[in-house]
Every structure is written in structure tokens, then in C-alpha cells.
Amino acid sequence: MRLSTLNDALPIVAAAYGRKFGVKVRVGGQNAFTDGQSINIPGLSEEAQSRTLAYGFLAHEAGHVRFTDFTQARHPQPLGKLLEGVIEDIRIEAAMITTYPGTRKTLDAVLEHLIEAGRMQPPSDQDPPGQVLGNAVLLIGRYHYRRQSALQMHSQQSEEVLSQVFGQQFVRQLHGLLAEIPGLTCTAETMALAQRIISLLESLSQGQSPEQANAADQPDNQPADDHAADDQASGKDDSQEGQLASGEDCAGASADEGADAEASAATDADSGDEGHHEQPADSTLQQGSTSQQGCSSEQDSSLAAQAAQAALQADKDALPEDLFEAVGNILQSHSSDDTQLLPTVQSYQGDAELGKEALERVKVHSAHLNAQLQGLVQSQRLTRSRTARSGRRLSAKHLHRAGVADSRIFRTSRAQPAPNTALHLLIDLSLSMQGGPDRLALDAAMSLALALESINGVSRAVSVFPGLRGQSSYVTQVLAHDDRVSTRTGAFVQKARGSTPMTGALWFAAADLLARSEPRKVVLVLTDGEPNDTDSTLSMISRAQSAQLEMIGIGIQHRVDHLFPQAIRIDQLSELKNSLFDVTGQLLSH
């Protein structure tokens, strides 16, 4: 990673995405996935293509976290699951773009990259039927209803192949169903639409015409023919994401309408000859031709039925890969290491009764500290006087300067600004802190946070690491910047656990502070041991310093000056509170 910048580093941008979208994000390891509550992307090199895919993956999966109902039962067949995923992807991306218009560019960039890299191709008539159908629905759906213009040629070619394999009538009915995508409002409706496509395919596999299947499958309030469905779709709100533009027709429907026109012309021609019963000379040939056409039509229907059956029976390996599963696999192949960079924040309420007891323990000391800090800040803000060469008020004790041609005899004053500092206190709660140090460290943090609460120009946050169960991929939030200690007392009652994943905790604190408006940003780390990965911790501290974050370490019976540019060691736990207060006082006095 480059040391020259921190603001555009992947963990910092990922944290910003998480705040913007209201989802939990973590960066690290070698896997890209979503568990329905949080999103994980691997630690990546800083190549442009990796970042493009990562940001698109975050935006897409954030859409699922926000808009997908993960409690809905999935379709039992692989093809059904695939169709559900394709349609739901389009729905949630449209919802994200409506809520966050800037995500359109981020999401479209992923698709454009995949096309440019040759990783997104239209189906071929040599592909298995399941792949033909799955890819066609994805490409046609995204082009028409997600408005991804880069897929225009892919969509057209997909439709041609789809017609060859399943027949034009099937494609025509499929278009009628896909036209309902812009009106979907929830995951249950997505799954119902996918099931209707499956039902259409099942009818085709049994030799039933698509029109019959669609008519049988229509709800009472749905039109039975595709023209009525088209009319209904065209009547939807034009402002809705993914709606076809006025007058835009599907290629399959246009082809069928052309065939209908030809049939109508032929009928008119026949009616003109009504009453003329003379048999043409080539009637035998014409009868043979008609017979051949009938055989050809029957053969095409049989092939379409076989294709439908094959698609329905296809296993996952015979179907196209889910689009963003493929993106996740690419990200995993680009992962740089398995270090946890940005952990997920855990909210924690703790034991309210024990929290009240802790608050009573620290109140006296905190009040004393608050008085000291208030006095320090006020003395810094007091009006300071100085002499100047011009002004409205003379300084009586400097009038003698006029006799020696020194014009600095006027008195001026200026007020000191408020501290305007954001502080994030990180507490190491690894197992070596158990048996007393963990409680004392959290008591000291509570006392300090309480003392700073009423000081204007200072914001503070407190977090502990590792996670509640010792996971390196989590940090536990004790106090956010705008929280009052009295509402979070239970969170200050925790026990030691796990190891010392300091790198991730530093990334979390840095991301938190870089989102703050205060010009001065300070990370204060309280620890009693070495981090799990010293090299990555040193790299992170260097990057933070380059971004003008002040990095301070307090070692409990342990030296930390080889890690932090500003470091203190305490050998007695009784010194901990005073050391924290001294450091804070120095911060506020500058």
C-alpha cells in the first residue's frame, strides 16, 4: 500500500460507504461475501480495477442488505434460484439508485469493466439451454430495466439465441413477464415473478403453447395476451428506474408483429380469390410444402420442449454464475493478504446495573479532572494582550518606547480558539488484561470521557478490541462521539478476551476520525502487549501520521515507543488514570 495517502485507501472509503448506506462493512481476509447484515471485501492491492470492482461490490451488496428480505424461502431448483437472483439484483440496484443516485456510476462501472475484460459475453446457441436462458434474462433484463446501455449488443444477441433455442413465442411471453420488473416492490414479488417464468418454461417442456401457459398463469387482474401486458407495462410511471422509454419495443415482439402482418396479407389475398376453384398447376407441390412446414414447426416445438426440459433439470454447474458472485471471486483472486484491515463495529449495551456502579466509582475523580481541564481550556481561551504599532488604546507601561523611536505602544488583544479536537480512545482487551487491568482501563476511559463531555470543542469516542467473542474481525463500540456517558454506562463493563488485533482497530479509529470535521484528530491507544501483526500495525501508524492524525500509545507495563511516535509507559495500574489525564491535558493545551 502507498504511504502517501490515507483518505482514499480502501478501508477508509469502505467505511464511508458503510456510513452512507447504513450498513456494516469490514475489509480484510481473502473472501468477499455478504451475510445479510454486513459486507466483507478482502484486502486488495490498490490497482484501479480492484477498487472499481470493490466499490461496485459494496454498493450492490449494500442494496441487498437494505432491500432484500433474506427470510424468504428460495426456489428449490437451481434455475429458479438463478432467476430469483437475477431479477432481485435488478430490483435492489434500481432501489439503490433511487435512494443514492451516485451509485449508478459505481454499479455501471463494474459491468463496463467486465465487458472490457471479456468476462461478460452473450450466450451462444451451442451453450446448454440453462446457460442460454439465464444469461439472456440477465442481459435483456439489465439492458431494458436497469438501463445499462453498454449491454445493448449483448441483449440483442441474447434475444436472437434465445429465440433459436426456445422459440419466438416463448421469448415474446418472457418479455411480457420481464416488463413487470420495474413494478416490483419487495423480495416476495421478485420470487413470484421468477416462479411464473419457471411455470412458463414447464408448460413449454410439456408441449403446451406459451400463450396457453401464460393465460393459465395470469392472475385475475393481469391481461392474458402479450399486447395487453405491453400496454400495462407502458402505463407505468415513466420516472421509475428501468422503465422502457416511450415507443421502445422489444425485438422479439416486433418480429412476431411482422409475422402477423404477413399472415394477414396472405389471408386477404386468399379472400380475393374466393369462388375461383380451379386447382393451380403446382398444387401438389404446395401441399407438399405445407406438409413440410408443419413437420418443421412440430420439430421446432419438440426441440424447444427438450431445451425447456434441459434448462429445468440443469444443475448449478450447467447454469451461468451469479454476476456478483463472479465479482466476489475476482476480488478474492486480487486479495493481497489475509490481514484484517477494517473490522466491523459491534454495538453493545452491557449490564446497566454494573454500569451504574462503575459510574459512581469514577464520578469523583472525573469531576476533579473536569475542573482541571476546564480551567486549562479557559486559560487558553482568555484574551491575550500584546503591543502593536497602531491601534485605538495606548499601553501605559510601554509609553517609554516612544522616546527611543519604538512605535509599539498600542495595546491589542486576541482570543484563543477552542481546542476543536476529536479524540478516539482504543482499549486493548486481550486476555492478558484479565483479572483487574481490564476493569481499571475501562473505568479510566469512562472517567476521561465523562470529564471531556462538557468541554466545548472536544469530541470523544471509545472502542475496545477484539470483538465480544475475541474475533479479530470486530471492534466493540463503547461510546460514539455524540453519546453521553450516562446512556452508555453498561458498555463500559466488559471482560478481557482474545488476542491483540491492533491493525484493524487503528483502521477503524482512523476511519472514524477522518469523517469528523474537527481539524485536530487524535488516536490514543491503551495496550499491554504486542500487536498480532507488528509490520501491518507500523504501516498503518505511518499512513495515519501522513494524514495528520496524531498517534499516541500508552503501554501498561510494556514499552510501546517502537510502535507509536508519542509513547508513555506506566508500571503501576494506579498511574493509569493520571497518565490518561496528563496526556489529554497536553492535547488541550496546544
- The 3 state secondary structure assigned to 429-478 is CCHHHCCCHHHHHHHHHHHHHHHHCCCCCEEEEEEEECCCCCCCCEEEEE
User: Per residue in 327-364, is it b (16+ CB within 10 Å) or e — as a string?
Assistant: bbebbbebbbeebbbbbbbbebebeeeebeebbeebee
Does the pLDDT of residue 474 top 50, yes or no?
yes
pLDDT top residue among 223 and 154? 154
Lowest mean pLDDT among 170-174, 176-180, 190-194, 268-272: 268-272
- 479, 449 Cβ separation under 8 angstroms: yes
Map out the domains of the chain with their CATH numbers: 10-68+331-344 (no CATH), 78-239+251-256+301-324 (no CATH), 347-378+418-589 (3.40.50.410), 383-414 (no CATH)
pLDDT top residue among 468 and 394? 468
C-alpha to C-alpha distances, 197 to 18, 161, 313, nearest whole angstrom = 35, 18, 15
DSSP alpha helix (H) spans, 68-128: 78-99, 103-116
Task: Find how far residue 497's CA is from the centre of its chain.
Answer: 30
Predicted local confidence at residue 46, as pLDDT: 72
Does the pLDDT of residue 385 top 70, yes or no?
no
Predicted local confidence at residue 576, as pLDDT: 81
Q: What is the pLDDT of residues 547-574, one digit of tens each?
A: 999 999 999 989 999 999 999 998 887 7
Separation between Cα atoms, residue 478 and residue 464, nearest integer Å: 7
Q: How confident is the model at residue 403 (pLDDT cuts 50, 70, 90)?
A: low
Task: Find how far residue 87's CA is from the centre of its chain.
Answer: 19
One-letter amino acid at 531 equals P
State the sign of the Cα–Cα–Cα–Cα dihedral 334, 337, 341, 342. positive
Q: How confident is the model at residue 526 (pLDDT cuts 50, 70, 90)?
A: very high
* DSSP symbol at 574: G
Question: Mean pLDDT, to the nearest integer, of 259-283?
Answer: 39
Report the chain's mean pLDDT, rounded to a whole number.
Answer: 82
Burial class (CB in 10 A: 0-12, 13-18, 19+), 245: exposed
**1: Cβ contacts below 8 Å, ≥ 6 apart:** 9, 46, 539, 543
Question: Mean pLDDT, to the nearest integer, of 421-435?
Answer: 94
Nearest 5 degrees, angle CA 62-CA 68-CA 70?
115
Q: How confident is the model at residue 17 (pLDDT cuts 50, 70, 90)?
A: very high
Q: What percent of the chain has pLDDT over 70?
A: 77
- 127, 319 Cβ separation under 8 angstroms: no
pLDDT top residue among 452 and 228? 452
Separation between Cα atoms, residue 103 and residue 20, nearest integer Å: 11
Q: How confident is the model at residue 215 (pLDDT cuts 50, 70, 90)?
A: low
Nearest 5 degrees, angle CA 237-CA 242-CA 248?
80
Identify which of 171, 464, 189 has the alpha carbon closest to the alpha carbon of residue 346. Answer: 464
Three cell numbers, residue 349: 449495551
Burial class (CB in 10 A: 0-12, 13-18, 19+), 33: middle
The alpha carbons of the chain give a radius of gyration, in whole angstroms, of 35
Separation between Cα atoms, residue 369 and residue 484, nearest integer Å: 17
One-letter amino acid at 338 equals D
Q: What percent of the chain has pLDDT over 90?
A: 59
Predicted local confidence at residue 562, as pLDDT: 96
Task: Find how far residue 264's CA is from the centre of its chain.
Answer: 54
Identify which of 197, 175, 167 has the alpha carbon closest to the alpha carbon of residue 85. Answer: 197
Predicted local confidence at residue 36, as pLDDT: 87
Does the pLDDT of residue 394 top 90, yes or no?
no
Q: What is the pLDDT of residues 327-383, one digit of tens each?
A: 999 999 888 777 778 999 998 999 999 999 999 988 887 787 777 666 555 555 445
pLDDT top residue among 590 and 551? 551
Does the pLDDT of residue 517 top 50, yes or no?
yes
pLDDT top residue among 298 and 389? 389
Identify which of 244, 77, 32 has the alpha carbon closest to the alpha carbon of residue 146. Answer: 244
Predicted local confidence at residue 522, as pLDDT: 93
- 157, 140 Cβ separation under 8 angstroms: no
User: Per residue in 547-573, is it b (16+ CB within 10 Å) or e — as a string?
Assistant: bebbbbbbbbebebeebbeebbebeeb
pLDDT top residue among 79 and 227? 79
Separation between Cα atoms, residue 305 and residue 558, nearest integer Å: 75
